Amino acid sequence: MVRFAILGTGRIGAMHAGIVARQPDAAVTWCYDVDHDRAAACAAQVGGRASTDVDAILAADDVDAVLIASPTNTHVDLILKSAAAGKPILCEKPIDVDLAKVEACRAALADFDVPLQLGFNRRFDPSHRAVRDAVAAGEIGALELLVITSRDPGPPPPRAILEACGGLFRDTSIHDFDMARFVLGEEVTEVYAMAANRVDPVFAELGDVDTAMIVMRSASGALVHVNNSRRTNYGYDQRVEAFGADGMVRSNNHRPSEVSRHGDQATAARTPLLHFFIERYAAAYEAEIRDFIDMLAAGGRPSVTFDDGHRALLLSEAALQSYRENRPVTVAEI
Amino acid sequence: MVRFAILGTGRIGAMHAGIVARQPDAAVTWCYDVDHDRAAACAAQVGGRASTDVDAILAADDVDAVLIASPTNTHVDLILKSAAAGKPILCEKPIDVDLAKVEACRAALADFDVPLQLGFNRRFDPSHRAVRDAVAAGEIGALELLVITSRDPGPPPPRAILEACGGLFRDTSIHDFDMARFVLGEEVTEVYAMAANRVDPVFAELGDVDTAMIVMRSASGALVHVNNSRRTNYGYDQRVEAFGADGMVRSNNHRPSEVSRHGDQATAARTPLLHFFIERYAAAYEAEIRDFIDMLAAGGRPSVTFDDGHRALLLSEAALQSYRENRPVTVAEI
Amino acid sequence: MVRFAILGTGRIGAMHAGIVARQPDAAVTWCYDVDHDRAAACAAQVGGRASTDVDAILAADDVDAVLIASPTNTHVDLILKSAAAGKPILCEKPIDVDLAKVEACRAALADFDVPLQLGFNRRFDPSHRAVRDAVAAGEIGALELLVITSRDPGPPPPRAILEACGGLFRDTSIHDFDMARFVLGEEVTEVYAMAANRVDPVFAELGDVDTAMIVMRSASGALVHVNNSRRTNYGYDQRVEAFGADGMVRSNNHRPSEVSRHGDQATAARTPLLHFFIERYAAAYEAEIRDFIDMLAAGGRPSVTFDDGHRALLLSEAALQSYRENRPVTVAEI
Amino acid sequence: MVRFAILGTGRIGAMHAGIVARQPDAAVTWCYDVDHDRAAACAAQVGGRASTDVDAILAADDVDAVLIASPTNTHVDLILKSAAAGKPILCEKPIDVDLAKVEACRAALADFDVPLQLGFNRRFDPSHRAVRDAVAAGEIGALELLVITSRDPGPPPPRAILEACGGLFRDTSIHDFDMARFVLGEEVTEVYAMAANRVDPVFAELGDVDTAMIVMRSASGALVHVNNSRRTNYGYDQRVEAFGADGMVRSNNHRPSEVSRHGDQATAARTPLLHFFIERYAAAYEAEIRDFIDMLAAGGRPSVTFDDGHRALLLSEAALQSYRENRPVTVAEI
């Protein structure tokens, strides 16, 4: 039985807590949040005690692992405290939106030997994973073209969230950069990004963009395209297409049902896509936590590492710099 | 160069004439119709001369073959005249809606040795044919279940056409009976039909039905379902699904384009289906005429025979009798 | 908090127990099975105590409801005991395979006033339910044709299960009969069934069939087709298609992912379908138990009733009689 | 009746000639080729006389229009000769692969007033055109993202053809650049291209690339992605996806039939895509010639102009320069 402290019990933290509580070999023993009521509400749902004192929780003898789902700018601090306490860590992405902080964290972590798994949930989606597995198995031959479509449903998030998120490339595209690395099985070396404000003036006001097209080159010479938007009207558009000499494998969108309609205006019409990440990646979040628990039980290393988080952030930085300077940027420059 | 006389230049005859004219090794030399203007209009489009004198045409020395597309109740007469004249025949389905006339025609044809191909166009559709070919190749193992969906677009045909057509089973389901025989590769032995008036009162007034579900058993024990309607609001619904121990193969509907739409109400929405047989089976009609011409050139036997027309009509009769008496009817009874 | 006794902790019972245990407002307090080890194993997974004494469980003061998932031939006994104890009941289908026993049970239940919900899980599937809802909302106009495809994955169940299951019509088709009633929103009045042994000789040895095609007529004149097989090689084939003047709505098959493959032999190839009911109807089982719990909380009547179970069994009997006598059978005859 | 001279009767020219010959209001009167036998073979198929003397043909009084389908490096000369002879021109793309020659041709054409339609066949494809029409009708709101997938089937063309074709950007991507302009309804202003040799060493030997990803920006700020490969193993991959605030519209791939297969390894498997442009764009080529003939009859201006050819070539040049210098290139620079 792995006893978890949930650090941060907002929407995502509460979702993770629920998944942990459902596992037969795991339990939530502590729910931490700066807002005690929110921690208590979560604990009431999933079991365990609520607290606003993270140090006390990390010192408790009924905590085997922590799940960090607090605001991004607290991740590094909680990671380091948890590592110092010797607790295995499952931390939501991103590590931080500030590359310097991430690199300092990496240095500091060298002093500790605790497993740290980063929450790139999409790696655990059965459809995307099937694409990765097919590529890794050589099913399409050497990967030549990788096309990632990743568009969030609208309306855009609240301004406060946008202000803290680090911008499109660090908040949204970072998932796609990780997916690219996951499917490629190698590093991306060069990035070029075009971007625009097309969705909402709030992004421009914040010096951010809401619409982007990125092309990248991998170490072995595969080409990668990512396109992003902060708003669709048809749900969460999440597709990955890998192409090579021996074929193409693709993960397509998910919907809440398999119903289709024929009428005088349209045929084979499906429902809108699943709304957003909570719905679309429900199975992935569950698999992610299972993977973490199973890794703890088996004693291996995490399947998604701090380094994965660092690497993805480097690509975000490269994309941002590319966009700002309107030139291709090598990752080595960052 | 195969020189055709087109016997009957209504909508279907004119369509056939156009296909013949497009073949590099065929030409239309005569267009016959009881309505001279109609014959002349067809001839103006495709070449050849117009006439209302079928005997003269059959006696002409520039006619190598006839294509019969006149009203159904004239088919037998034109078949026999053409056979007597020694002209190979491609005749639109059905031979006739009167079983006795068909059987008399069969007897009379025994005196002649001319190739006669019956116009079961759907056998030449690439999608349906792929189903047949897969079954014949043993791809799904022994056929166990065959499901044929066949629904015409609305509104219903004009009353005059309905009066002459022989009713749903002889006019529409007959295509599906032929398709069943084509895919099965064996005879149907027993038929049960449920039917109803759901589409338009005109069918009831004529003692006809407009909606039907049929189940049948083949000689080897495969089960077959056909469902029919005289009206859809989404186009011509034509599907064939064959199932066996080793899998399922299916021919799906055709549309005028491959465009799909995503919006806030629906995703992956396609256009309505191709409207009706002229559009849906354009490639099949072309392949049918090619097959006939190639057969004449190669000297073999027609791939769709008078006997196929007779057998399909027997199933129509069995379905009608089954519906009227509300009991399963064996084909042997007919 | 609704405290459940799980009566019968085989594969299905254990699955239900797990779902109950996951609900925030429900708990498993007792696990009953004739095999104590099996009950104990289930209790270890989901909480509660294990027992082989159903009377003691029904007398316990920590049981608010029972979930019956024991062998079919024990359902009636457990229903009546539970009803006598005043416990609301969620009972797996079918009530029994013996119509006389079901009718006796119905009579006996008249003495009690406990909610009894029957486990026709498919009614809670989001895809099938969307078809029902569309029909009920008048989206396709009056229903004219209803086509239900329902084929189990192979290999066939063990002989012991087949011997007890009541045969294809009472064990498998009964789900489709219930689905037909669910989508129709009215009763079926007449049934004709063709059936065959095509899958495995074991069915013939047991006097059973493994392959069937059924046509039915509803009170208002809609036509219904069901086709069944005891074996597919591509997963659990579960489709419902409703057709009317204003269109068609269809629930299509479900798969474990949305990945598709393009290669030199095939394109757009998907994975095999979800294997069987546990996988395919996971969401439906969850929704079914939620519906039952919510009904208890709200104080209404069950959404799937004993009468629904009785009616579906009548259709099974009619199909069986139709098959045996090779004639259409009216439900009124049964 | 529009009487055509076909200038160039290789594979594409012969295909065009066949289409012209099938039109009821058009005919082929002359077939020109430097290879007399080839011209004669074409004439034997479609009618008309064969000649190797283009000047004589242009002087003949039975030529109302010319269709130029000769090798690319002869297009400019034949265009100018035809224009001087006052013959309306339908010319295969590209005008030339040498931008200077194209611009000189443009200048020279100013002296003549003959309609010249450029053969960007994809504009006439029903699926792509539906995307354009939906965008033009405002169906998806302002266009924000446009993704064009365009991959040729392998193996690569013969070396001699590759040597003359101008390279990937001028030979293949040019179609996608035209499609982008067609769907955008405005000009592209900036281009960035990544490219690679992944398919065959022959491309590298010729200083060419075979695999590319391009991003572009339009005048109004829409972002466009094109990805190309010189080889697929599943057929001709041709897709266009347009995205905006109000939805997404997409043209998907075409196949020779609508058959699908279910088995133990895969379900819903379709056939490989239509092989290449002759098959995939058969309807488009027909519609293109109809459009040209109808334009001549109606007296308007061509729907695809010399300027469209020039503009697309400018984008090819920009892509090539971008690739060579590894920087975004504005079209204004070219």
Q: What pLDDT shows up at residue D300?
A: 85
Q: What pLDDT shows up at residue A306?
A: 97
Q: What is the pLDDT of residues B34-46, one digit of tens each?
A: 999 999 999 999 9
* Same domain flag for D216 and D277: yes
CB D229 within 8 A of CB A144: yes
Q: Using a CB-CB distance cutoff of 8 angstroms, which residues of chain D are in contact with residue C235?
A: 267
Share of chain B above pLDDT 90, in %: 97
- The residue-averaged pLDDT of D239-260 equals 98
Neighbours of chain C (3+ CB pairs under 8 A): A, B, D
Q: Are D196 and A245 a contacting pair at CB < 8 A?
A: no
- Is residue A291 domain-resident? no
Which residue matches tokens 């060579």? D324
Q: What pLDDT shows up at residue C76?
A: 98
In the stretch 72-111 of chain A, residues with CB closer than 8 A to chain B read none
Report how far residue A39's alpha carbon sits from residue A27's, in angstroms, rounded to the nearest whole number.
16
- Is residue A153 domain-resident? yes
Share of chain D above pLDDT 70, in %: 100
Report how far residue D118's alpha carbon sits from residue D302's, in angstroms, rounded to the nearest whole number.
8
Domain of B48?
2-114
CB A307 within 8 A of CB A161: no
CB C147 within 8 A of CB B149: yes
When divided into structural domains, chain A yields a total of 2
* Same domain flag for C180 and C229: yes
Q: What pLDDT shows up at residue A150?
A: 98
Beta bridge partners, A251, equal A240, C259
Q: What is the pLDDT of residues A114-127, one digit of tens each?
A: 999 999 999 999 99
Q: Are D237 and A248 a contacting pair at CB < 8 A?
A: yes
Phi and psi dihedrals of C121, rounded to 5? -55, -30
Count the Cβ atoms, other than its own, within 10 Å of residue C48: 26
Which residue matches tokens 């500091």? A108
Q: Are B246 and C224 a contacting pair at CB < 8 A?
A: no
* Same domain flag for A260 and A139: yes
In the stretch 174-233 of chain A, residues with CB closer than 8 A to chain C read none
Mean pLDDT score of chain A: 97
Which residue matches tokens 């969030």? A152
- The residue-averaged pLDDT of A281-304 equals 96
Last residue of a domain, one of B47, B82, B114: B114
CATH number for the domain that contains residue D182: 3.30.360.10
* Same domain flag for D214 and D324: yes
* Same domain flag for D207 and D262: yes
* Same domain flag for D51 and D180: no
Which residue matches tokens 């290449």? D276
Report how far residue A87's alpha carbon sits from residue A58's, in angstroms, rounded to the nearest whole number.
8
Last residue of a domain, one of C79, C114, C149: C114
Residue A239 touches partner D, C-beta closer than 8 Å: no
Buried b (16+ CB within 10 A) or exposed e, D258-277: bbbbbbeebbbbbbbbbeeb
Residue partners of C115: CB distance under 8 A and separation at least 6:
C88, C89, C295, C296, C301, C302
Residue partners of C44: CB distance under 8 A and separation at least 6:
none
Q: Which of C129, C258, C271 to mutate to test the interface with A (most CBs of A within 10 A)?
A: C258
Q: Are D272 and C261 a contacting pair at CB < 8 A?
A: no
Query: Is a pLDDT exceeding 90 seen at residue A24?
Result: no
- Is residue B205 domain-resident? yes
Name the CA dihedral angle for A229, A234, A239, A243, rounded to a multiple of 10 degrees: -90
Report whether the peptide linkage leading into residue C115 is cis, meaning its omega lies within 30 degrees of zero: no
- Is residue D101 domain-resident? yes
CB C75 within 8 A of CB C66: no
CATH number for the domain that contains residue C101: 3.40.50.720
- Is residue B298 domain-resident? no
Neighbours of chain D (3+ CB pairs under 8 A): A, B, C
D19 CA: distance to closest CA in chain B (Å): 10
In the stretch 21-40 of chain C, residues with CB closer than 8 A to chain A read 22, 24
Nearest CB among B127, B261, B263 relative to D257 is that of B127
Q: What pLDDT shows up at residue A231?
A: 98
ipTM score assigned to the predicted complex: 0.96
Last residue of a domain, one of B85, B114, B143: B114
Q: Are C233 and D273 a contacting pair at CB < 8 A?
A: no
* Same domain flag for C231 and C260: yes
- Is residue B158 domain-resident? yes
Name the CA dihedral angle for A38, A39, A40, A45, rounded to a multiple of 10 degrees: 90
* Same domain flag for C162 and C102: no
* Same domain flag for D105 and D185: no
Neighbours of chain B (3+ CB pairs under 8 A): A, C, D
Q: What pLDDT shows up at residue C22?
A: 87
Q: Are A246 and C254 a contacting pair at CB < 8 A?
A: no
Report how far residue B7's alpha carbon sits from residue B43's, in angstroms, rounded to the nearest whole number.
12
Residue partners of D203: CB distance under 8 A and separation at least 6:
D156, D162, D168, D197, D209, D210, D230
* Same domain flag for B161 and B110: no
- Is residue C301 domain-resident? no
Q: Are D270 and C270 a contacting pair at CB < 8 A?
A: no
Per DSSP bridges, beta strands C247-251 and A259-262 are: antiparallel
Share of chain B above pLDDT 70, in %: 100
Q: What is the pLDDT of residues C267-311, one digit of tens each?
A: 999 999 999 999 999 999 999 999 999 999 998 899 999 999 999
* Same domain flag for A323 and A195: yes
* Same domain flag for D140 and D235: yes
- The residue-averaged pLDDT of A264-289 equals 97
Please report which confidence band the pLDDT of residue B300 belongs to, taking 50, 70 and 90 as the band edges. confident
Q: Which of A133, A254, A259 to mutate to test the interface with C (most CBs of C within 10 A)?
A: A259
- Is residue C257 domain-resident? yes
Per-residue pLDDT of chain C (334 residues; tens, 9 = 90+): 999 999 999 999 999 999 999 898 999 999 999 999 999 999 999 989 999 999 999 999 999 999 999 999 999 999 999 999 999 999 999 999 999 999 999 999 999 999 999 999 999 999 999 999 999 999 999 999 999 999 999 888 999 999 999 999 999 999 999 999 999 999 999 999 999 999 999 999 999 999 999 999 999 999 999 999 999 999 999 999 999 999 999 999 999 999 999 999 999 999 999 999 999 999 999 999 999 999 999 988 999 999 999 999 999 999 999 999 999 999 999 9
Q: Using a CB-CB distance cutoff of 8 angstroms, which residues of chain D are in contact with residue A142?
A: 198
Prediction pTM value: 0.97
Q: What pLDDT shows up at residue A22?
A: 87
Q: Report CA-CA distances (Å) from A53 to A10, A56, A92, B256, D200.
A: 16, 5, 20, 65, 62
